[in-house]
Amino acid sequence: MATSRVKLGSQGLEVGELKKLVEEGKVKYIGLSEASPDTIRRAHAVHPITALQMEWSLWSRDIESEIVPLCSDIFRSTDLGKFFFNQI
């Protein structure tokens, strides 16, 4: 089921609302912070997600199993993504 109502975080913001702000020129890009793979997929289906902030360090490498491959698929089509993610 397709929907533009993907609730994000404790503020209850929805990607559909953020998409409207982009279309009105009030916001240029949409990014997510510490999102689950499911949230990233659902949000990106409503509007392209430009940035993702996640903890990734020598001590925290959990994102390598699901998040990095997911982002590789999502961002591969961007100009920067074509160069960077094709090298992985």
- Beta-carbon neighbour count of residue 28 at 10 Å? 8
DSSP notation for 11-80 = TTEEHHHHHHHHHTTS-S--EEES--HHHHHHHHHHS---EEE---SSS--GGGTTHHHHHHHHHTTSHH
The model's pLDDT over 2-46, given as tens digits with 9 standing for 90+, comes to: 444 545 554 456 888 899 999 999 999 998 888 889 988 888 889
Domain ranges of the chain: 12-83
Distance (Å, rounded) from C-alpha 73 to C-alpha 69?
Answer: 6
- Token pair in block for residue 71: 């982002």
Angstrom CA distances, 87 to 36, 66, 81, stand at 24, 18, 10
The model's pLDDT over 59-82, given as tens digits with 9 standing for 90+, comes to: 888 888 888 888 877 766 555 555
Distance (Å, rounded) from C-alpha 19 to C-alpha 25?
Answer: 10
